[in-house]
Structure 1
Amino acid sequence: MTAGGQAGADNAAAKRAAARRAERRRRTPLLKRFLPRTLFGRSLLIIVTPVILAQAVATWIFYDRHWDTVTNRLAYGVAGDIATVIAVLEHDPTPEGRDWTLATAARTTDLIVTLEPGQILPEQRRQQSGLLGGLLERTLGKALEDRVGRPFTINTRVAHEWYEIRVQMADGVLSVMSPERRLFTPTSYIFILWMVGSAIVLFAVAILFMRNQIRPIKRLAIAADALGKGRDVSNFKMEGATEVRQAASAFLLMRERLQRQINQRTEMLAGVSHDLRTPLTRMKLALDMIEDPDLDPEVEELKADVAEMEEMIEGYLAFARGEGTEAVQPTDLTRLLNEVAVGARREGTEVTLTAAEGLSLPLRPNAVRRCVANLLVNAGRHAGTAWVKAERKDGVIEITVDDDGPGIPAYLRDDVFKPFFRVDSSRNLDTGGSGLGLTIARDVARSHGGDITLDDSPYGGLRAVIRLPV
């Protein structure tokens, strides 16, 4: 298959992945799509939501009770003073009585009251409380209707922090200038500022507190991820709340048990290697010392059996050892793949390598080298031509090994990763190997937190995909 065919297959795979993601989003409940996905966001939401609800209820009660009560009292107080002035003016309409009434009102009511004789309010400017725009204007208008009961106008733009109230009288227009402090109390603004300020302080404290609580969980997650990728987590320590410390303690115990199990397996297999190789060596020497020509066919068969046993033991030891003693170190993957490709070409496999520059990540280089080499050995054994491609995709580095051989049937692609399983059931090591190549390759990939999958190759053979998390 051509490079265009391979690109088409990759595009089809990308479309299938996008369709699966879209299907998962479609099945997600609508509410969950808008909820925070992180523990920090959800914890903060749990803290913030009751505070916002409590402040909303408190604000509603404040405006429902405080504003109505205090503002009504202030408005009715001003309207009552105006009604009193009007009543006194009508009781003593003489110029001397009028002057005394206006002077007394200015001195005792904090209102500036003037009388404009002969003036008439324009009909279109006369207002009713239901036609006024602002809440304070409507409250004052209702009070004027109840206490004064005459046509009036309210002008809020006559001067800064002053209200002008003009009331129609029988012989003119009464103009009253009222300061804003007589109609409005600043406690509402103080209350709102206090709530907003306290909420900001509480949110800041909650954010700092939650960050300190979430940080140990993040570190535990990072340490667990590093352990899953086979990396060192020796600098991890327990901190945070009691529950987080319990989880961290369980993680440390798990790490110790895993390390102890690996060490025990390695030590045990070192002894097994010595114990098994010794009798095999004696068997080889005994077979070499047999000089009876009549037994040559049987001797050759026994030598082949011994060679097979040696191959199987070496393969098993390599699989069980799993390169566990090798340290993780920053590795230039592009360079490593080039070295593996050169080695495969020396063995007679035609390899085409396509790898981007700068593919570096922490690895056990010898283990990964063996993983890729096993795949190329299989390709060289069954196909002769291999295509290797390495690229970064969605937070992982993907190494693809294609060949043009006969491939592996789909129903056997899980079984070939089992130890000593061979598609070719014969005992010929030249055609089937020991049955541990793919097993070791998957073991190496999974020890780095990745995996290997098998699929059909666009070149007609088998495709093996190694995914390594960055």
Structure 2
Amino acid sequence: MFSNPDSEERWGKLDRPLRRVLPRSLLGRSMLIVLIPLLVTQAIVLVLFYGTYLNVVSRRLSDGITGEISLVISMLERTPEADRREELLKDAAARTQLQFVFHPHATLRREGTNHVLGPIDDDFERALKQGLGRPFFVDWSAAPETVRVSIGLPDGMLDVLTPHKRLSIGPIWMFLAWAFSSSAFLFLIAGLFMRNQVRAIRRLAEAAELFGLGRDEGAIRPQGAREVRQAAIAFNRMQERVNRFVAQRTAVLAGVSHDLRTPLTRLRLSMAMLPTKGMIRAEDIQPDVHDMVADIEDMERLIGSYLSFARGEGAEKPVLTDIRALIEDVAVAARRAGGRVLSVEGKEGVEVPVRPDALKRALTNLADNARRHGGAMRFSLWEGERRIEITVEDDGGGIPADRRKTLLEIGSSGNNGGTGLGLTIVRDIIHAHGGTIRLLESPLGGLSVLLSLPK
């Protein structure tokens, strides 16, 4: 089936404002899925019960009282004697629970009703109009819990005092309170169950985030629904396979580096034992020996970089580390190696969970690059709410802006004694911590390397 671009565009226009209103969390959306059907169900129940059943009951109560009043009026019209009318009204009051008072020669001054609060008044007024056929006035405030109905007759006026409970169908607020309280109770129970399910998903997400930052907390305990447990089990298996792969690669690289160092050491010893006198003149052999020794040193630095690269993603665990103290140690080592450290700036006592040896190796590589390309360097530390930033600046020749991204992808150029893996090691160590690295222009005139790490 082919999708219609116009319909997708229209749906996108409707979906965007809807997403702004809807909650973003899984718990919020799950509770909304529970709440909307619950409210719709309660609304339907209220409409059907209150709008149908209660109205029917109210009309029947009004029709019943109207019928009793109509019967009494009919009997009064057939009994013109005053004494017999008194007895008739007393007997009717005893049988109908209504109070009747007849006012001879009185007239009705107003008609209608003074109550506009609900369907009970409308039903009662409608029943009186249909059942009596005479002018009347309904006074809902004549006495507490009593409704007075004044009816105009040809020879006077009849007052009928009706108990309010005979017209009312009970306090509707009790029904509403019961309906909404039960809905709130069920919603609370659903929220507790959904919170437990979402908590398992949140723990899985936190474990995946920590593992991505290089903070291996071990296997997580499967919890929640069956699908969430399956996801947790799959995550544990993936974590185990990744750790096994990293350990195997580290062992292979370390073994290769160690095996290569043995023949290089023998070559260095052989070069040192070469005769400088004999059939070949010493001045001819010395430059060649010097070049070969320099090549061997470069190869040893290359192997050392591979070994450092392998150790950088090894089994070192993140620990809470004083970043300012670690930078100070790197600065002291850079001074001993011949570099000129202008300053170490930043707040003291900033502690972040990192792999201290790996991070120190990354900063040492940056300090070595600054020492080789410039000579002067400056370290700075900045602490934010959720991350820290470490900046290493030098006064060297810098790197053109169009080459900085490529340089991070393939490593340093290898000039001035570089091994080709300096920036690659730094990049991978920072990425293993869940951070980022940027190459910028330094205020000192050279290169500025900005390292951003999560707290």
State if a TM-score over 0.5 links the two structures: yes
SS in 1 for 2:112: coil
Partner Cα distance (1:27, 1:135) in 2: 40
The residue type paired with residue 399 of structure 1 is: I
- C-alpha displacement of 1:459: 5.2
Partner of 2:437: 452
Partner of 1:21: none
User: Does residue 310 in structure 1 map to residue 295 in structure 2?
Assistant: no
Aligned with 1:330 (options 294, 317, 320): 320
SS in 2 for 1:414: helix
- C-alpha displacement of 1:387: 4.1
* 1:397-412 matched pairs, under 5 angstroms: 397-412=388-403
Aligned with 1:414 (options 405, 411, 414): 405
* 1:27-426 matched pairs, under 5 angstroms: 29-123=16-110, 126-127=111-112, 132-186=116-170, 188-234=172-218, 236-292=220-276, 293=282, 294-346=284-336, 347-393=338-384, 395-422=386-413, 426=415
- Verify the 8 A CA contact 2:257 2:306 in the aligned structure 1: no
- C-alpha displacement of 1:369: 1.8
Using a 3 Å threshold, how does the CA distance of structure 1 residues 127 and 357 change in structure 2: closer, same or farther? farther
The residue type paired with residue 354 of structure 1 is: E
- Verify the 8 A CA contact 1:265 1:321 in the aligned structure 2: no
- C-alpha displacement of 1:225: 1.1
- C-alpha displacement of 1:262: 1.6
Aligned residues: 436
SS in 2 for 1:413: helix
Partner Cα distance (1:285, 1:216) in 2: 61
Partner Cα distance (1:362, 1:28) in 2: 41
- C-alpha displacement of 1:323: 4.7
Using a 3 Å threshold, how does the CA distance of structure 1 residues 311 and 196 change in structure 2: closer, same or farther? same
Using a 3 Å threshold, how does the CA distance of structure 1 residues 49 and 306 change in structure 2: closer, same or farther? same
The residue type paired with residue 311 of structure 1 is: R
Instruction: Could you tell me which runs of 5 or more consecutive residues in structure 2 were left unpaired when the two chains were aligned.
Output: 1-12, 277-281
1:105-156 deviation per Cα after TM superposition (whole angstroms, max 9, x unaligned): 2212121222233433334xx2269x84432212211111111233322232
Using a 3 Å threshold, how does the CA distance of structure 1 residues 386 and 300 change in structure 2: closer, same or farther? closer
Does 390-399 or 218-227 show the bigger shift? 390-399
The residue type paired with residue 409 of structure 1 is: P
Using a 3 Å threshold, how does the CA distance of structure 1 residues 107 and 331 change in structure 2: closer, same or farther? same
The residue type paired with residue 310 of structure 1 is: E
Using a 3 Å threshold, how does the CA distance of structure 1 residues 153 and 367 change in structure 2: closer, same or farther? same
SS in 2 for 1:29: helix
Does 190-199 or 220-229 show the bigger shift? 190-199
1:167-189 deviation per Cα after TM superposition (whole angstroms, max 9, x unaligned): 22333332222222211112744
- C-alpha displacement of 1:465: 2.3
- C-alpha displacement of 1:411: 2.5
SS in 1 for 2:391: strand
Partner of 1:442: 427
Partner Cα distance (1:58, 1:415) in 2: 67
- Verify the 8 A CA contact 2:150 2:160 in the aligned structure 1: yes
- C-alpha displacement of 1:452: 1.2
Using a 3 Å threshold, how does the CA distance of structure 1 residues 457 and 55 change in structure 2: closer, same or farther? farther
Partner Cα distance (1:182, 1:269) in 2: 94
The residue type paired with residue 286 of structure 2 is: D
- C-alpha displacement of 1:405: 3.8
- Verify the 8 A CA contact 1:269 1:321 in the aligned structure 2: no
- Verify the 8 A CA contact 1:344 1:351 in the aligned structure 2: no
The residue type paired with residue 90 of structure 2 is: A
The residue type paired with residue 273 of structure 1 is: S
Partner Cα distance (1:454, 1:101) in 2: 108
The residue type paired with residue 362 of structure 1 is: P
Does 37-46 or 152-161 show the bigger shift? 152-161
Structure 1 length as normaliser, TM-score? 0.86
1:59-91 deviation per Cα after TM superposition (whole angstroms, max 9, x unaligned): 112222112211111112122222222222222
- C-alpha displacement of 1:354: 3.0
Using a 3 Å threshold, how does the CA distance of structure 1 residues 398 and 109 change in structure 2: closer, same or farther? farther
Instruction: Could you tell me which runs of 5 or more consecutive residues in structure 1 were left unpaired when the two chains were aligned.
Output: 1-25
The residue type paired with residue 333 of structure 2 is: G
Partner Cα distance (2:45, 2:407) in 1: 68
The residue type paired with residue 43 of structure 1 is: S
- Verify the 8 A CA contact 1:384 1:405 in the aligned structure 2: yes
Partner of 1:9: none
The residue type paired with residue 307 of structure 1 is: E
Using a 3 Å threshold, how does the CA distance of structure 1 residues 133 and 245 change in structure 2: closer, same or farther? closer
Identity rate of aligned residues, in percent? 42
SS in 2 for 1:166: strand
